[in-house]
């Protein structure tokens, strides 16, 4: 199977793909029209990208069946176009969680102690112990967390070690104002944190902000989260509070954030910006970084060696599974709910042509197949197929299936 890797990728990942039996073309600089041409030339079945945009033109340029995002989000991939073409899109969720959480806490500590400014003054030959002794300290303050995914969980664990109390909101608990239940904390992997100092749920993002000394964003970007952190949320933060975003810039209203930093003295720690350069390097002119006490990094939250090795290993696992079984772990664009109304169960001898006969009967009856699997019993003599249908197979269809092939052992219909 041919795999095209169109971004920088760890050698361990390239070696792992080769060990899985793949022919690997490594073109980390291929972008836009050049990538369209490369797909047409290399004819890969699998495309691996990191930050490279994947467009409909690329999906049409060759026989792609799988696009793997070597990272968590898939917002750089035209997932709708992939779904229209029957192309799987998979990602590597959770593999960079610790790296992003570490950067989040680094920004929080840097803002409290003004570390970048202190370093800059030292390098400029200025010693000002009195000025840089002014710090509030973090122990006993409240960290608000928007989101309760893998990165948020790792951030909470580390924040709790610094003695911060936690108040959180996520879409799964929207509207709830209560302590997190022990079973819920256990399911999230936060039971030890919760037992030491109970994590509270707040009903809305604005209410989280109102209860927080610092607010950190760990939300995936989607239609329901775009611009979620707006002037109403930011306005509930105390003057001088800390705001952290190592998730996606589009989750936050950029104008409202700049105004809050300028007019209310919010201290910002940002790894993502509304006006980032398109590539890995270039001119950067976002005015927000010119404001006092705005500390930023270069969208590098996931960019530790540990995280990239873990993502490479997960990418190899996804591709290997597809090569060996046709199944795609972490696939993001399969229908979550089927339109199937009935399941046709066909027990049969494992012989050529049996299922072809069944599908021919279903086609002639105008019944659409939503999903199917065929499980072979030990010894390879018999199998059972489960065929999920949009519609009811009537008696005439069942009779045609039974009578039309000698290797049909049993057939029955189950309403869903």
| Domain at 342-415, CATH class | alpha beta
> Is 154 in contact with 97 (CB distance < 8 Å)?
yes
Instruction: Tell me whether residue 299 is one of the annotated catalytic residues.
Output: yes
Query: Within 10 Å of residue 363's Cβ, how many Cβ atoms?
Result: 11
State the greatest distance between any 2 C-alpha atoms of the chain, in Å, as a whole number: 93
- Kindly give the confidence (pLDDT) of every residue in the chain, 416 residues in length, as a single tens digit, with 9 standing for 90 and above: 999 999 999 999 999 999 999 999 999 999 999 999 999 999 999 999 998 999 999 999 999 999 999 988 788 999 999 999 999 999 998 899 999 999 999 999 999 999 999 999 999 999 999 999 999 999 999 999 999 999 999 999 999 999 999 999 999 999 999 999 999 999 999 999 999 999 999 999 999 999 999 999 999 888 999 999 999 999 999 999 999 999 999 999 999 999 999 999 999 999 999 999 876 788 998 999 999 899 999 999 988 999 999 999 999 999 999 999 888 999 999 887 677 899 999 999 999 999 999 999 999 999 999 889 999 999 999 999 999 999 999 999 999 999 889 999 999 999 88
- What gap in Å lies between CA 34 and CA 39, rounded to an integer? 9
What are the strands, taking DSSP E only, across 37-186?
46-49, 66-69, 88-90, 142-146, 165-169, 178-179
DSSP H or E stretch at residue 152:
helix 150-161
DSSP-derived secondary structure for 180-216: PPHHHHHHHT-HHHHHHSPPEE-SSHHHHHHT-SEEE
Instruction: Tell me whether residue 248 is one of the annotated catalytic residues.
Output: yes
User: What pLDDT is recorded for position 170?
Assistant: 97
CATH number 3.90.1150.10 given to 2-95+306-325: no
User: What pLDDT is recorded for position 416?
Assistant: 86
| Catalytic position from the list 200, 218, 236, 248 | 248
What are the strands, taking DSSP E only, across 225-341?
242-245, 267-270, 294-296
CATH of domain 97-301: 3.40.50.720
Vertex 249: Cα angle to 106 and 158 (nearest 5): 25
- What gap in Å lies between CA 228 and CA 380, rounded to an integer? 55
| Catalytic position from the list 200, 299, 348, 405 | 299
Question: What is the arrangement of strands in the sheet containing 382-390, beginning at the earlier edge strand?
Answer: 368-376, 382-390, 342-349, 408-415
Instruction: Return the sign of the alpha-carbon dihedral for residues 18, 55, 68, 73.
Output: positive
- What gap in Å lies between CA 104 and CA 66, rounded to an integer? 32
Instruction: Tell me whether residue 305 is one of the annotated catalytic residues.
Output: no
| Catalytic position from the list 23, 84, 131, 276 | 276
DSSP H or E stretch at residue 389:
strand 382-390
Which of these, 187, 200, 216, lies nearest to 101 by C-alpha position? 216
Would you kindly state where each structural domain of the chain is located, as residue ranges?
A: 2-95+306-325, 97-301, 342-415
Which of these, 284, 339, 288, 310, lies nearest to 100 by C-alpha position? 310
DSSP H or E stretch at residue 284:
none
Are domains 2-95+306-325 and 342-415 of this chain identical in fold?
no
188-191 long-range contacts, CB within 8 A, separation 24+: 188/148, 188/153, 189/153, 190/153, 190/156, 190/157
């Amino acid at each position: 199977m041919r795999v095209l890797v169109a971004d920088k990728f760890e050698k361990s990942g390239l070696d792992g793909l080769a060990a899985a039996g793949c022919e690997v073309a490594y073109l980390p600089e291929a972008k836009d029209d050049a990538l369209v041409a490369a797909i047409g030339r290399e004819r890969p079945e699998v495309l691996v990208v990191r930050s490279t945009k994947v467009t409909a033109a690329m999906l049409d340029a060759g026989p792609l069946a799988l696009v793997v995002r070597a990272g968590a989000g898939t917002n750089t991939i035209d997932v709708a176009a992939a779904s229209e073409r029957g192309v799987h899109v998979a990602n590597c969720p959770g593999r960079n969680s610790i790296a992003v959480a570490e950067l989040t806490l680094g920004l929080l500590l840097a803002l409290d102690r003004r570390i970048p400014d202190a370093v800059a003054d030292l390098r400029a030959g200025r010693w000002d112990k009195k000025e840089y002794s002014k710090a509030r300290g973090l122990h006993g303050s409240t960290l608000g967390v928007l989101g309760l995914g893998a990165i948020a969980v790792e951030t909470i664990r580390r924040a709790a070690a610094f003695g911060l109390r936690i108040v959180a909101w996520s879409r799964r608990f929207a509207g709830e104002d209560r302590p997190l239940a022990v079973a819920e904390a256990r399911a999230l992997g936060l039971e030890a944190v919760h037992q030491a100092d109970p994590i509270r749920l707040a009903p809305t993002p604005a209410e989280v902000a109102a209860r927080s000394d610092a607010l950190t964003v760990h939300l995936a970007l989607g239609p329901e989260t775009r611009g979620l952190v707006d002037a109403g949320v930011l306005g509930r933060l105390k003057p001088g509070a800390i705001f952290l975003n190592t998730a996606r810039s589009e989750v936050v209203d950029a104008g409202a954030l700049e105004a809050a930093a300028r007019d209310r003295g919010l201290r910002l720690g940002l790894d993502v910006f509304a006006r980032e350069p398109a590539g890995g390097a270039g001119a950067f002119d976002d005015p927000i970084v010119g404001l006092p006490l705005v500390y930023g990094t270069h969208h590098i939250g996931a960019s530790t060696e540990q995280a990239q090795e873990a993502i490479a290993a997960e990418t190899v696992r996804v591709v290997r599974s597809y090569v060996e079984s046709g199944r795609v772990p972490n696939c993001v664009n399969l229908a979550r709910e089927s339109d199937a109304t009935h399941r046709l169960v066909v027990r049969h001898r494992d012989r050529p042509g049996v299922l072809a006969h069944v599908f021919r009967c279903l086609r002639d009856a105008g019944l659409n197949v939503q999903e199917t699997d065929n499980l072979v019993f030990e010894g390879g003599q018999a199998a059972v197929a489960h065929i999920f249908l949009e519609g009811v197979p009537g008696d005439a269809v069942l009779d045609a299936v039974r009578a039309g092939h000698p290797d049909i052992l049993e057939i029955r219909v189950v309403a869903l």
